[in-house]
A = this chain, B = another copy of it.
Amino acid sequence: MSLTAHDCAALDAADPLHATRAQFCLDDAEVYLDGNSLGVLPVATAPRLAEAAQAEWGRGLIRSWNTAGWIDQPQRVGNKIARLVGAAGGTLIAADSTSINLYKVLCAAALAQSTEPGRRVILSERANFPTDLYIAESVARQYGLTLVLLDSETIDAALASHLNANVAIVMLTHVNYRTGRMQDMAAVTRRVQAAGALMVWDLAHSAGAVPVDLTTADADFAVGCGYKYLNGGPGAPAFAWVNPRHAALPQPLSGWMGHAAPFAFDTAYAPAPGIDRYLCGTPSVLALAALECGVDTVLSAEALGGMLAIRAKSLALTSLFMQLMQTRCTTFNFTCVTPDNPAERGSHVSYTTTLDGYAIMQALIARGVIGDFRAPDILRFGFTPLYTRYIDVWRAVDALAAVMTQHEWREARFQQRAAVT
């Protein structure tokens, strides 16, 4: 029993989040399934950027640090993000990049564990997002630790064999960037902490996409990305969260904004209390203004059921996609690598292919369906409930079936490799 385009249109008509798409600059014909890489431009962002540039910077000039609230921007935007990830106010800041924030929290965690000389290992997954591993590799070198990468498909099996008294830190991404597999944050955190290790979560593919409750999970540290499901714009500032019990730990990127008295111009560094010490240099006011608009789009759903409503629609979209793929694309040898179990699924779905996945994605994009390709063999489709419709899911599978049936991906124009896919 397969759904028709008509059925999908009916699902959209009944969707409690149907109206949120109007907050985004998207034509009706656009099927954008790459919000997990770069979220769509909110309607509010360009006017806000114009205001920040022309009124605040242009006319307010240096005075806007006070009059336009620039000085509190990392905390203000951070407190908004906090509502989406179950963090208390005053425990999360928006600034710098995910990689840099990860460096800060991993260094703090390594320092916290330096009193346990037997704990020499940072544990992560080989399948983790590469930049996380690169940063962990650097922090491990700096603190004389060893980075051990888990290979198992399930984190349970991997932890069973590797989580022991040597482990100082476990660093995992909540939703894997390739497979879309989601970890049980509370259970994994409990298990890691029971073994005496500290738990660091990367929420890059979670914040704004799936319900996250850092406080209830009682995690130790978390970082996340501003330009995916938070719709903050290309290269938007990222965020860092630290459990208040670790708030007294130092981090090494000790810039002026993290000082206890940033305008006293002391020569010695004295870290601010709490999360403010995770600020370093001056973050871009324009970039944070755009990020705030993006976060506001997610917060706008609070009146419609918030992250639970977003999650319900996300699962409906990904389930529909997987079902339609099974019905209409089963002969093309795509292998779904995203868990069938909804509890283990984030908000994107991925398939491996033995064919030229890059060319297939290019041919699909030429048909107006934008997903992405991740080397070596992954076709990835992200679903953003605030603007992805059920009819988009139907159109995407329909287009992919056409690309495959009509061998469009074999055309020479789709074979070239570009710098970024």
Segment among A195-203, A259-267, A308-316, A342-350 that sits at the interface with chain B: A259-267
Known: A53-B233, A254-B138, A286-B286. A375 touches B99 (CB 8 A): no
Segment among A33-41, A163-171, A403-411 that sits at the interface with chain B: A33-41
Task: List the B side residues contacting A352 at CB < 8 Å.
Answer: none
Contact at B287–A419, with CB atoms within 8 Å? Answer: no
Copies in the complex: 2
Distance in angstroms from A42 CB to nearest chain B CB is 9
Chain A residues 266 to 323 lying within 8 A of chain B, measured CB to CB, are: 266-269, 280-288, 290
How many of chain A's residues touch chain B, expressed as a range? 35 or more
Known: A100-B96, A130-B256, A269-B138. A282 touches B235 (CB 8 A): yes
Task: List the B side residues contacting A334 at CB < 8 Å.
Answer: none
Bound: A209/B282 CA distance, A: 20
Contact with B along A81-116 (1 / 0, CB 8 A): 000000000000000111110010000000000000
Residues of A participating in the B interface, judged by any CB pair closer than 8 Å: 25, 32, 34, 37-38, 40-41, 45-46, 49-50, 53-54, 56-59, 61-66, 70-71, 96-100, 103, 126, 130-131, 133-135, 137-139, 141-142, 149, 227, 233-238, 252-256, 259, 263-269, 280-288, 290, 365, 370, 372, 374-375, 418-421
Since A53-B233, A134-B269 are in contact, a sample of 5 more A-B pairs with Cβ atoms closer than 8 Å, ordered by chain A residue number, is: A25-B58, A37-B62, A97-B283, A265-B374, A284-B284
